[in-house]
Amino acid sequence: MKTLTLYFRDYCSLCHDMLAQLQALQAQHPFAVDIVDVDADPVLEEKYNELVPVLMDGDSEICHWHLDLERLLARLAAQPDEIG
């Protein structure tokens, strides 16, 4: 099962919106979400500060601020060797 990373802030309404959308999609698409609080790590806070929420598949950004459903579904459907 694919695991995506969501860079998140607890007080961020966009973060909570994206997480809710991802959780709703998990009923139809098998993937896990690893939630990472950017404020818990100074390096991540500096890197993602104004971009959160940021949804990543490994080192590849899928989207930030708002869920890009088309990109997410394409990423979930892709085989590992198709991802670039």
pLDDT digits (tens, 9 = 90+) for 13-28: 999 999 999 999 999 9
Q: Which helix (H) or strand (E) holds 72?
A: helix 69-77
H-only helix segments in 1-84: 13-25, 42-48, 69-77
Phi, psi of 11 (to 5 degrees): -90, 10
Q: Is the pTM higher than 0.75? A: yes
Fold designation for 2-82: Glutaredoxin (3.40.30)
> Considering the chain, what percentage of its residues have pLDDT values greater than 90?
85
- DSSP, collapsed to helix, strand or coil, labels residue 31 as strand
47 or 1, which is more confident: 47
Average pLDDT over the chain reads: 92
Strand pairing class (54-57; 31-37):
unpaired
